[in-house]
Each structure stands twice: as C-alpha cells, then as structure tokens.
Structure 1
C-alpha cells in the first residue's frame, strides 16, 4: 500500500512538482492550498507524513502543527510533520520544536532533500 502524504502549500508550482515527484516514487499525495481544511482532512484520513508551508492562507503552518499535536487520536497527533518555508529566518529550531514540527526545509525547495526527509519518517 502506498505511503500517504498530505501537502499544504498555496503555491501551484510546489503542488504540481510535489505530486509528480512523489507519485513517481510510489507515494500518494493529497494537496491543499490553504490551512482551512487540513485538520478535518487529517481527522477523516490517515497520513504517513504531513508537509506544511509555514505561510498559508487562513491558518499558518505553525498553528496547524499545534492543532495536529492536540488531536485526540494519538496516532494522528504523532504523524511526522515537515515544515517548508521561505521565511525560516523568522523562526528558530526551538519555535519548530515547540509546536511539534519534526523537520523543516527552506524554500526554494530542494526536492532531493524533501524526498530524503519524507523517507526518514515513513
């Protein structure tokens, strides 16, 4: 069974490239362009890894990470989260640790690094 990835990023380029790259490697990827539907999607479905852009319309990636970690379903609450951001200088490693983000990558995305990060958690 394919490993499932949830990607929340408002960039159509990142959505399209990520789908091509991860589908080509045998993963399933479901993309969202805003943070609004992410929590209900995670509550309804199981994912192996969650990739969150830090700057999202509606709800920030940092806030989403906090909400995911507070889910009552402990398995879902412990799903690995990889943050991606062009504004990483605004955050320290302790900021990411505090909200439960497992790993973070800087934009522009290095897709080899993203694939490596995903493989580390699945």
Structure 2
C-alpha cells in the first residue's frame, strides 16, 4: 500500500513539483494551500508524513504542528512532521522541537533532501 503525504504550502510551484516528484516515487500526496484546512484534513484522514510550510494563510506551520501534537488520536498526534521554510533563521532547533517538528528544510527546496526526509519517516 502506498504511503500518504499531506503537503501544506501556499506556493503553486511547490505544490506542482512536489506532486510530480512524490507520485513518481510511488507516494500518494494531497496538497493544501491553507493552514486552516490542514487540521480538518488530519482529523479526517491518516497520513504517514506531513510536510508543513511555516508561513501559511490561516494558521502558521508552528501553531499547526503544536495542534497536531495535541490531538487525542495518538497515531495522528505522532505523525512525522517535516517543516519547510524560507524564514528558518527566525527559529531555532529548540523552537521546532518544542512544537514537535521532526525535521526541517530550507527554501528554496532541495528536492533530493525532501525525498530523503520523507523516506526516513515513511519508508516504502
């Protein structure tokens, strides 16, 4: 069975590229452009990995990660989260650890690094 990825990023370019790359790798990927839709999506569906942009319309990635970690469903609360951001200098590793982010990558994205990060948490 294919592993499922949820991608939350408001960039159409990142959405399109990520979908092509991960589908080519055999993953099922769903993209959302708004932070406020992410919680509803995670509550209603199971994912193997969540890729979260830190800057999102609605709710930012840091707040989303914290809310996901606080979910009552333990499986959902433990879903690996990979943060992606161009503003990573505004945050320390401790900031990411505090909200439960497992890994983070800097934009512009290195897609090889992103694929490797996803494979680390959701091996096929």
Tell whether the structures are fold-level matches, with TM greater than 0.5.
yes
Aligned-partner Cα distance in 2 for 1:37–1:105: 22
Runs of at least 4 residues off by over 3 Å: none
Q: Could you say which residue in structure 2 is the equivalent of 1:82?
A: 82
Q: Which runs of 5+ in 1 are unaligned?
A: none
Deviations 1:24-69 (A, max 9, x none): 0000000000101111110110000000000000100000000000
* 1:57 alignment partner in structure 2: 57
CA RMSD of aligned residues (A): 0.3
The answer to whether 1:113 aligns with 2:96 is no
Once residues 2 and 13 of structure 1 are traced to their aligned partners in structure 2, the CA distance between those partners, rounded to angstroms, is 24
* Aligned twin of 1:23: 23
Length-normalised TM-score, structure 2: 0.98
TM-superposed CA distance for 1:112, in Å, is: 0.1
Q: Paired residue for 1:98?
A: 98
In the alignment, the residues of structure 2 paired with residue 117 and residue 64 of structure 1 have an alpha-carbon distance, to the nearest angstrom, of 19
Structure 2 distance, partners of 1:32, 1:4, is 14
**What TM-score results when the alignment is normalised by the length of structure 1?**
0.99
